[in-house]
Amino acid sequence: MNLNIKDKFNKELPADPDNSNTRRQVHNACFSYVTPRKPSMPKLLHYSEEMAANIGLDSQDVKSSDFLKVFSGNEVMENTKPYAMCYGGHQFGQWAGQLGDGRAINLAEVEHNDKSWSLQLKGAGATPYSRTADGFAVLRSSIREHLCSEAMYHLGVPTTRSLSLMLSGDQVMRDMMYDGNADYEKGAIVCRAAESFIRFGNFEILASRGELETLKKLADYTIKNHFSDIQQEDKSKYLDFFREVTNRTQEMIVHWQRVGFVHGVMNTDNMSILGLTIDFGPYGWLEGYEENWTPNTTDRQMRRYRFGHQPSVALWNLVRLANAIYPLVEESKGFEEILNQYQVNYQQAYADMMMSKLGLENKENLKKDLIPNLIEVLQLSETDMTIFFRKLAAFTKEGNSKNEEIDFLALIKDAFYNPEEIKDEVYLKWQNWFESYRQHLQLESLTDNQRKTKMNAVNPKYVLRNYMAQLAIDAADNGDYSVINELHTLLKKPYQEQLENEKWFVKRPEWARHKVGCSMLSCSS
């Protein structure tokens, strides 16, 4: 196994001088050196071929004992010095102080094909930032992270990636629903990959402590290595940096809304400075379209991180980041302009995205209530988001039969969880919406077929439905890892018709409606 190691973060930024692995507050440093804990019997369960190729590894490399040792944390690669990052964060709206990589350890940065990848083990033991927790991860949450990060990538959503999924061979104690029923679960280790794992919280912790020199070093480092288009040397570079982070964050959120992804814990420590989806914990996918839905049981009361609130939470988080880097600029006007612009840009990007989901191209012809009315009708009776948009692509400008009023119903009936509810006023509202939609289509120049092709390129047919991940987990708990591979393969081509995989293009089965792990998830992972 030959990796082209090019470490930057731990070479260019200030390290914690204390090398002991004891839990503590770490000052004036961006990271602490820490060695992964040796797992007792590591076993490779699955890996991403594409991600391996990204760092220059082929299938022989992945099957080598070196790979098993390095990516389970058993052995540290020559000339590398693994470390955990120091960051803070606002959790559920409150400043939480120092958090840091409590169960993530960065192994090294690798360069391949002109791209740089930071490789990080999640679940490889405690670090100085573990606080009261153990530094491990369980198999169920590791399967969810591994599958979802690769699925997001193939959906075209900016995301961190996952190279490998291993069993550690150790048992980990968890109280899955925080209800006093703790039990042992299998420990696992995922190797994540991203250009960088720097978060909003890395800046916030330094600003909160008034460690402005280190803050400046981190900002300069981030700009130089990850925002290299920003060339100027004066203070304006920090504003350009902030604008770019804001734009990338906004783009990421529009993608989440497009595919129906709910992150579940949008704390500022879970916001990537590169605008990548990061930290796949109690996330979930919309099945029935519902703006108020959140999978995270910890957030059941407030629903702070519900689907429809993600765009404003992102803005709230960006304000926290603006506050953190403000001392480098010492003028608020520029920040305010960028933050105000976020709202304008978001609205535009959201409208463009929704138009693309509907196969509409001509903004001048868009009536202002078409999209809001759709959001309303989708929520009148539980309607599966993925199935609805996919089936909608077959709608025609002219209608197929004389009986046009039932046309639309036949088309999208598979998306309704309770088809018997589509009557009376609900029916009429749907009918009105479809009439308006057809009028829009008639003003467009695309043929039905052209529109269908375009719509199918933005409306996925296959997403990692909450129950699908749970099926992979249940099978894995019984020693059957084939479902992990089946879903991983399926989700590499989420926009393609896969006739052999129609069984995954169905509504959530009823047994999954209230099952733990399917619609209800906790942060315990």
Q: Is the dihedral of CA 345, 346, 351, 352 positive or negative?
A: positive
For Mg ion, which is the closer residue by CB, 16 or 279? Answer: 279
Q: Residues touching ligand AMP: how many (CB under 6 A)? A: 17
Q: Show the site string, 244-283: x = touches Mg ion by CB under 5 A, - = not.
A: --------------------------x--------x----
> Which range of residues in 132-140, 191-199, 246-254, 510-518 is near ligand AMP by CB under 6 A?
132-140
Kindly write down the DSSP assignment for every residue of 194-209, as one continuous string: ES---BHHHHHHHHHT
- Considering CB distances under 5 to 8 angstroms, the limit depending on partner class, which of Mg ion, ligand AMP, none binds residue 294? none
Residue 269 appears among annotated catalytic residues: yes
Selected from 31, 71, 136, 395, the binder of ligand AMP by CB under 6 A is 136
Residue nearest to Mg ion according to CB distances in the complex: 279
Catalytic residue, candidates 16, 101, 170, 269: 269
Which amino acid belongs to residue 6?
A: K
| 120 part of the interface to Mg ion, by CB under 5 A | no
Q: Which of 154, 132, 28, 167 is nearest to 86 (CA)?
A: 28
- Considering CB distances under 5 to 8 angstroms, the limit depending on partner class, which of Mg ion, ligand AMP, none binds residue 101? ligand AMP
- Considering CB distances under 5 to 8 angstroms, the limit depending on partner class, which of ligand AMP, Mg ion, none binds residue 380? none
Tell me the two tokens of residue 367.
Answer: 């009536």
Contact 186, 136 (CB under 8 A): no
Distance separating alpha carbons of residues 296 and 458, to the nearest angstrom: 26
To the nearest whole angstrom, how small is the minimum distance from the Cβ of residue 29 to ligand AMP? 16
Q: Which of 169, 160, 156 is nearest to 191 (CA)?
A: 160
Kindly write down the DSSP assignment for every residue of 53-87, as one continuous string: HHTT--HHHHHSHHHHHHTTTSSPPTT---EEE--
User: Cβ neighbours of residue 370 under 8 Å, at least 6 residues apart?
Assistant: 358, 433, 436, 437, 440
Q: Apex CA 442: angle with CA 440 and CA 448, to 5°? A: 105
For ligand AMP, which is the closer residue by CB, 135 or 288? Answer: 135
For ligand AMP, which is the closer residue by CB, 186 or 397? Answer: 186
For Mg ion, which is the closer residue by CB, 97 or 399? Answer: 97
Kindly write down the DSSP assignment for every residue of 87-145, as one continuous string: -EEEETTEEEEE---SSEEEEEEEEETTEEEEEEEESB---TT-TTS-SBEEHHHHHHH
Among positions 86-105, residues that touch ligand AMP (CB under 6 A) are: 99-103
To the nearest whole angstrom, how small is the minimum distance from the Cβ of residue 84 to ligand AMP? 8
Selected from 133, 173, 182, 457, the binder of ligand AMP by CB under 6 A is 133
Place of tokens 């559920």: 92
Tell me the two tokens of residue 374.
Answer: 């759709």
For ligand AMP, which is the closer residue by CB, 176 or 355? Answer: 176
The helix/strand/coil state of 285 is strand
Paired residues of 279 in beta bridges = none
To the nearest whole angstrom, how small is the minimum distance from the Cβ of residue 485 to ligand AMP? 26
User: Cβ neighbours of residue 366 under 8 Å, at least 6 residues apart?
Assistant: 351, 355, 360, 440
Among positions 262-301, residues that touch ligand AMP (CB under 6 A) are: 265, 269-270, 279, 281
For ligand AMP, which is the closer residue by CB, 87 or 342? Answer: 87
| 130 part of the interface to ligand AMP, by CB under 6 A | yes
Selected from 44, 351, 426, 523, the binder of ligand AMP by CB under 6 A is 523
The helix/strand/coil state of 191 is strand
Residue nearest to ligand AMP according to CB distances in the complex: 102
To the nearest whole angstrom, how small is the minimum distance from the Cβ of residue 250 to ligand AMP? 22
Binding site for ligand AMP (CB under 6 A): 99-103, 129-130, 133-136, 265, 269-270, 279, 281, 523
Binding site for Mg ion (CB under 5 A): 270, 279
Catalytic residues: 269
